[in-house]
Each structure stands twice: as C-alpha cells, then as structure tokens.
Amino acid sequence: MSATAMSNAAATEANIHEQGFRNYHIPSELLVPTARKSKKHCSVTIAEKELVMEPLSKEMPRGGWQANETLFYSHNPEDVFTTNPYDAVRENEYQQLHQQMYNDHGMIVQAPTKGTEQSPLISTREALLDRIFGQLWDDKCEEIRQASPYGKIEGWRLASFIMKAGEDIRREALVMQIITKLNDWFITDIPEPFRPHMRPYTIMCVGGDAGLVECLSDAKSVDEVKKGTDHFESLRDYFERSYGPPTTYSSQYKKQSTSTRSGVSRTLSFEEAQDNFLRSLVGYSVICYILQIKDRHNANILMDRDGNIIHIDFGFVLGDTPKMCKVPIFSEKAPFKLSDEYWDVLGGWNINQGGLGVRFCHMFEHAFACAAAHMDEIASLVEATLLTMTQSPRQARALGNGVRNRLKMRGPPGSTEQKAFIMELVNAARTSMGTATYDWLQRNMNGYQ
C-alpha cells in the first residue's frame, strides 16, 4: 500500500473513532477506495483485471450505434461558425428554451452553444422514476376501484399474482414465512435508528408443484432499473439523478418531510433513499446468510421507487446452488451479496463524507443478535418444512443444525468477539471474487446488467 493510501486509511479510522465506533476494527483490505475514486488510488492485480469485463451496455449500447460522435466532425478553425450581429439574440433564445424544458419536464440538457453538438436529454427526479416504474400502483388501483361495481365495498383491495406450475414452491414459502417473522421481530426488538426492514409478500402453495406468488407493486429488478435508465452509468449515479445530490454528510440525520404527489408517493431526498437502501440491504443480507440463499443476480433483486431493495425467487436455499455454480470460479461463496455497486451507493467507510459502511456493520450486528434470539424457532420451521418435503429426518435435522450453527453468537451482544465476527462476515462479502464472477456470468449468458 502506498504512503497516500496508508494516510487515507489512518484518516478514515480516526474519523470512525470520533463517531463512537471504536470497537469496530476495519480490515485494511476494505479501505481500498471504490471505483468512484481516482485511478491513482486503485491497485488491482493482473488476475483481477483479466476477470473484469466491460458491461454489455457499453459494448453493445441499446438503440443502435452510439460511438463518440466527435470523431466524425471536423474541428478545423475554418469550420467554426463566424460571429454575426444576431449571435447574442440567438444565444439568449437558446438559454430560455433550455430553462423552459427543464422546468416543464424535469429534464436536464446542456444548453446549446455556438458551434457545438447538443447533448442528449437526461431524465431526472420524477421523470426518471416514472420512466422506470410507470404509473403508481395506488393511482392505478384507485382508477380501477372507481370503475368497479364493487369499489364501494368496505375492505376492497386489488392485488396481482403470478401462477407457477410445474415447480415446487414450498421452499420459497418457507423462506417468505421466515422473512415475515424476522421482519416482525426487527420491529419489536430493535430500536428505530438501528432497525433494518424487509418487504414480505404472499406465496400460496396450491399443490406439490403449483402455487401463487404476489407481484410486488412499484418495483422493478435492478437489471430493469439499469436498462430503463437513460445513459446509465452506475447505481450511485441513478440515486443522485432520481433523488438529488447528497446534501447532508452525516450517517445520522433527521428525516425531513417532503412534498406528496396524489397524496401517495413522496419525492425523497438522497439521504432518505440511501437510508432505505441501507436498511433493506441489511435485512436481506441477514436472511441470505441464515438460509444460504443463492442465485443472487440482479434479475432476482428488485428495487422500488423509494430505494429499497427486495429479494425474490428463493429456489436455491440451504445448500442448493445452480449448476453453473459447481464451477469453483463462479461459486457464490460470499455469506451474502455486497457487491461494489451496492457499496458505492452506501458511500464506503468515511462517515464524514456520508459513508454508511460502519453504520451497516452496526445495524447488521443488531439484526444478527435479534435473529439469534429466535434461533430455535427459525431452525424448527426449517426442520418441519424439509421433513415433509424430503421424508428424511436425518437430512431435515442436519439442515436445521446448520441454521443453528450460523446463528450462534460468538459473544454477548456488543462484545468485542461478536463485533469481530460481524466484521469477518462483511469482509468476506466485500472481498469475495465469486460475487463479481457470478454477475459477470449472468451478464454474458442472460444479459442481466
């Protein structure tokens, strides 16, 4: 590590100590700056460079050829427009048109200047959210209720489901049952500043090989969010365009009330959306670790309008993995998915610059202790369900004991031993090569971004 990187690491650790997190010892390998930092701070090995590939969105952009247009235009001095008396008037009109487009449509476009090519439109704020998620589900329900002859009945509610046939979804129902219970325990056992959350939904088995799965409203997969964002660069850039740039450089902030639209949806600030992302990421990280949920590519992870992430499709749990994961280099060995792009949204370790890395560890510690307090109930649910599915008491007991071992506390809550264990899990998730290689495999096989 260079002298500059060592000094940055020391400064970061000092900032964390000032915030009251002295018990957390951050491994040096986790203090390497993320992709958002300048290139002079990045140090990767040759083997890592060989594994990293450019996203397909850059190699084969959607909508036809989008190469650098400046290569096809002359930059000779004689080709530049000469000035004339009407230039000032025309420039003023262009500026007024640019301002009107921004105010009316929530779009940002670089003001055209003389002799330059106009930049493409870039969606922001509500325009970008509407572009990706479409009409609000509550607004759509209200339209259908007004047109329905049963709309005035008390308790009227609209829900959408997908039907799965030829597939045993009892394991998915088990995972959702544990998610629902764990989310309730978070609400009752953890103080609000450290409380993660998840979004349970209905899964109904109607037979051994069929069932109903509730559709999640106002949510799209991370893959769809990336593909639906015009001129997508990164998830961090998507958050800043959708909710505005960061304004409060502190991990502990007071939420401010924002304007409402149709009395349903709020336009969140960046900090509120980032907080939603953090809390949901912690919740699903804990459940993924407990039940060993695999196949976590970006088509199986959803994101809603408020920045929350939601995991779906729990076909590979408790040791089951996709066939492609049998190849060691593509194996999902991480305890949970904490990819570079997710860490980039959190902002890394530096608390003074808005980083939520330490807060992630602190919140994960509370969530883990809460789940460990209900260890026997979770393990009993796993054993009972798998016993009916496999008819093998030995296998059911072995999987239940595996859950107990993963939920075993390494020390009392808040102890140094327990904090060190939490940091080991975060370290393993952050530095796992399998997370990046599996995403690379899904991107090249199925086109998932």
pLDDT tens digit sequence for 70-87: 333 333 434 434 445 555
Which of 394 and 46 is assigned the larger pLDDT? 394
Q: Which amino acid is at 49?
A: K
Same domain? For 218 and 92 the reply is no
Same domain? For 349 and 426 the reply is yes
Same domain? For 229 and 98 the reply is no
Looking at the predicted structure, is the pLDDT value of residue 226 above 90? yes
pLDDT at 447: 87
Same domain? For 178 and 202 the reply is yes
Percentage of residues in the chain with pLDDT exceeding 70? 69
426, part of any domain: yes
Same domain? For 383 and 243 the reply is yes
Number of residues in the chain: 449
pLDDT at 231: 87
Looking at the predicted structure, is the pLDDT value of residue 127 above 90? no
Which of 207 and 195 is assigned the larger pLDDT? 195
pLDDT at 111: 45
Same domain? For 181 and 100 the reply is no
Same domain? For 276 and 218 the reply is yes
8 A C-beta contact, residue 218 and residue 137? yes
Looking at the predicted structure, is the pLDDT value of residue 373 above 50? yes
8 A C-beta contact, residue 231 and residue 120? yes
**Average pLDDT score over residue span 5-31:** 52
Q: DSSP assignment of 397-437, as one string?
A: HHHHHHHHHHT--SSSTT-HHHHHHHHHHHHHHHH-HHHHH
pLDDT at 405: 95
8 A C-beta contact, residue 288 and residue 295? no
Which of 228 and 208 is assigned the larger pLDDT? 228
User: pLDDT averaged over the chain?
Assistant: 77
| Residues sharing a CB contact under 8 Å with residue 177, sequence separation 6 or more, in sequence order | 381
68, part of any domain: no
Q: 363: domain CATH number?
A: 1.10.1070.11
| Residues sharing a CB contact under 8 Å with residue 39, sequence separation 6 or more, in sequence order | none
Which of 332 and 280 is assigned the larger pLDDT? 280
Same domain? For 433 and 311 the reply is yes
Which of 209 and 221 is assigned the larger pLDDT? 221
- Expressed in angstroms, the distance from the first to the final Cα of the chain is 32
Give the H or E element holding residue 185.
helix 170-189
Res. 16 pLDDT band, cuts 50 70 90: very low
pLDDT at 96: 64
8 A C-beta contact, residue 302 and residue 448? no
Round to whole Å and give the CA distance between 332 and 47.
19
**Average pLDDT score over residue span 244-248:** 80
Give the H or E element holding residue 265.
strand 265-266
249, part of any domain: yes
Strand pairing partners for 205? Answer: 211
- Buried/exposed code over 174-189 (b: 16+ C-beta within 10 A; e: otherwise): bbbebbebbbebbeee
64, part of any domain: no
Res. 23 pLDDT band, cuts 50 70 90: low
**Ranked by mean pLDDT, which of 52-56, 89-93, 139-143 comes out on top?**
139-143
Using alpha carbons, select from 300, 338, 353 the residue that is nearest to residue 425: 338
Same domain? For 247 and 381 the reply is yes
Sheet holding 219-221, edge to edge: 219-221, 301-304, 309-311
Round to whole Å and give the CA distance between 97 and 92.
9
| Residues sharing a CB contact under 8 Å with residue 336, sequence separation 6 or more, in sequence order | 284, 285, 286, 288, 289, 296, 425, 429
Looking at the predicted structure, is the pLDDT value of residue 198 above 60? yes
Per mean pLDDT, which range of 3-12, 143-152, 208-217 is the poorest?
3-12
Domain count for the chain: 2
pLDDT at 263: 38
Question: In which domain, by residue range, is 98 found?
Answer: 74-116
pLDDT at 70: 36
Round to whole Å and give the CA distance between 244 and 297.
27
Looking at the predicted structure, is the pLDDT value of residue 89 above 70? no
pLDDT at 325: 74
Strand pairing partners for 135? Answer: none
pLDDT at 446: 87
**Average pLDDT score over residue span 218-223:** 93
Model confidence, pTM: 0.71
Looking at the predicted structure, is the pLDDT value of residue 61 above 60? no
Res. 55 pLDDT band, cuts 50 70 90: very low
Q: DSSP assignment of 153-172, as one string?
A: STT-----EEEEESS--HHH
**Average pLDDT score over residue span 5-26:** 51
Same domain? For 85 and 193 the reply is no
Looking at the predicted structure, is the pLDDT value of residue 40 above 70? no
Same domain? For 88 and 220 the reply is no
Percentage of residues in the chain with pLDDT exceeding 90? 45
Which of 205 and 69 is assigned the larger pLDDT? 205
Same domain? For 238 and 106 the reply is no
pLDDT at 308: 96
